[in-house]
Amino acid sequence: MEDIVIRRATLAAHAIRAVDRAETLEGKRALHLEYGRSLLLVRRRHTDDNTFRNALEAHNLVVRTRQYRTSAIWLALQWEKLEPALKDCTYSDPGDIREWWRKKQGLEPDQVARPARPGRGKSPRLDKAREAVRPLVEAGHAVPIGPVAERIGVSANTITMAVNAEQIRVDAARAFDAKVEAEVQRRIADLRCPHCFATFGEITPADSRHEPIAA
């Protein structure tokens, strides 16, 4: 079964590498937003800094700088609040939008909301349980609560909580804002690889021909 989180992030990363070919401010902004949302889904799966960084590198999802990626996640988290005000904003880059928002609100740099790190303060037992049930939930299979609990040494209640948490995560990966998704996918489909002229909608995560796309 294809990993929908990585697939989505791969398409978003390819689009950001070619974002300058988007024709409008709104189009560029939509691509940055989609990349931030995709990173957020990966971040929620890998709550540790090292495993998150390793996941990005392993799947060729590293785009631009760490500061840019942090700002892209910030844009995704703040979008509902920001969207009504962005009609007055002339920027598309998340870092520029973040600075524009700071000045608009009259805030000092350290007062701008930073992306929360999902998973901080969670129970190690729950994290262990989520890792154990994740493949089954993602594949749509029923989780045998008792046997899994016994195998990894946690309570049945912890396994149940883990299944619920993973189901929410999987559902969120599929059921995000339909309007933004349709617009983003249309714009991604219109972008073409400068090497073979395939549309980005046709690119598969394993297709290394497209890795040299310039940022």
**pLDDT at residue 31 is higher than 70:** yes
Q: Is the dihedral of CA 132, 11, 30, 55 positive or negative?
A: positive
Q: What span, in angstroms and rounded, lies between the C-alpha atoms of 34 and 179?
A: 12
Q: Are residues 21 and 93 in the same domain?
A: yes
109 pLDDT band, cuts 50/70/90, is low
Q: Are residues 26 and 69 in the same domain?
A: yes
**pLDDT at residue 64 is higher than 50:** yes
Q: Are residues 17 and 109 in the same domain?
A: yes
Hey, which residues does 199 pair with through a beta bridge?
192
**pLDDT at residue 19 is higher than 70:** yes
Count of domains observed in the chain? 2
3-state secondary structure of 203: coil
**pLDDT at residue 128 is higher than 80:** yes
Is residue 151, in this structure, part of any structural domain at all? Answer: yes
Instruction: Check: CB of residue 185 under 8 Å from CB of residue 200.
Output: no
Is residue 44, in this structure, part of any structural domain at all? Answer: yes
Is residue 165, in this structure, part of any structural domain at all? Answer: yes
User: Given this model, what pLDDT does residue 7 score?
Assistant: 81
Is residue 83, in this structure, part of any structural domain at all? Answer: yes
User: Given this model, what pLDDT does residue 119 score?
Assistant: 46
Pick the residue with more confidence: 48 or 52? 52
140 pLDDT band, cuts 50/70/90, is confident
Q: Are residues 68 and 13 in the same domain?
A: yes
State the residue range of the domain holding 206: 4-119+177-210
* pTM, 2 dp: 0.54
Q: Are residues 182 and 195 in the same domain?
A: yes
Instruction: Check: CB of residue 137 under 8 Å from CB of residue 167.
Output: yes
Residue 132: CB atoms within 10 A of its CB come to 20
132: its two tokens: 């154990």
Is residue 34, in this structure, part of any structural domain at all? Answer: yes
Is residue 215, in this structure, part of any structural domain at all? Answer: no
Q: Are residues 92 and 17 in the same domain?
A: yes
Q: Are residues 110 and 201 in the same domain?
A: yes
Exposed, middle or buried: residue 119 (CB in 10 Å: 0-12, 13-18, 19+)? middle
User: Given this model, what pLDDT does residue 44 score?
Assistant: 82
Tell me 110's DSSP state.
G
| Percent of the chain surpassing pLDDT 90 | 14
User: Given this model, what pLDDT does residue 11 score?
Assistant: 81
Per-residue exposure over 166-198, b if at least 16 CB sit within 10 Å of its own CB, e if not: beebbeebeebeeeeeebbbebbeebebeeeee
Q: Are residues 86 and 61 in the same domain?
A: yes
Query: What are the pLDDT digits (tens) for 87-101?
Result: 889 999 999 999 998
**pLDDT at residue 123 is higher than 80:** no
Is residue 113, in this structure, part of any structural domain at all? Answer: yes
User: Given this model, what pLDDT does residue 97 score?
Assistant: 94
Pick the residue with more confidence: 141 or 116? 141
Q: Which of 18-22, 84-88, 136-140, 208-212 has the lowest mean pLDDT?
A: 208-212
Q: What span, in angstroms and rounded, lies between the C-alpha atoms of 62 and 121?
A: 27
CA 38 to chain CA centroid, Å, is 2
Q: Are residues 163 and 182 in the same domain?
A: no
User: Given this model, what pLDDT does residue 147 score?
Assistant: 93
Query: What are the pLDDT digits (tens) for 174-202?
Result: 554 455 556 555 655 555 554 555 554 45
Q: Are residues 110 and 142 in the same domain?
A: no
Q: Are residues 185 and 130 in the same domain?
A: no
| Percent of the chain surpassing pLDDT 70 | 70
User: Given this model, what pLDDT does residue 49 score?
Assistant: 81
Hey, which residues does 192 pair with through a beta bridge?
199
Q: Are residues 33 and 48 in the same domain?
A: yes
